[in-house]
A = this chain, B = another copy of it.
Amino acid sequence: MKVKIYVTHKKGILDPQGKTVETALLSLGYKNISGVKIEKYIELEIDGKSKEEAEKQVKKMCDELLSNPIIEQYRFEVEQ
């Protein structure tokens, strides 16, 4: 099963990388942009489980390793 995980900053948490890219875009002349956020997008394959078990496992992996619960939140999709 293919899993797509989006790890994003929690609301109110500074995103310095996004801020830097926004400043760069503005200085390149793109004056109509705002709210640039650079987040993580993780793809992986899980073998041999039901969708429910896979979802449970992905949640555990996110809590344990893939996201930093203090500053980040995540959402994911399991595709069969």
Contact = CB atoms under 8 A, between A and B. Distances in A.
Contact of A61 (B30, B40, B42, B65): B30
A71 to B, nearest CB: 16
Interface in A1-60: 6, 8, 18, 21-22, 24-25, 28, 30, 32-49, 57
Contact of A41 (B32, B41, B65): B41
Interface of A: 6, 8, 18, 21-22, 24-25, 28, 30, 32-49, 57, 61, 64-66
Given A21-B65, A25-B61, A34 B42 contact: no
A43 B37 contact: yes
A60 to B, nearest CB: 8
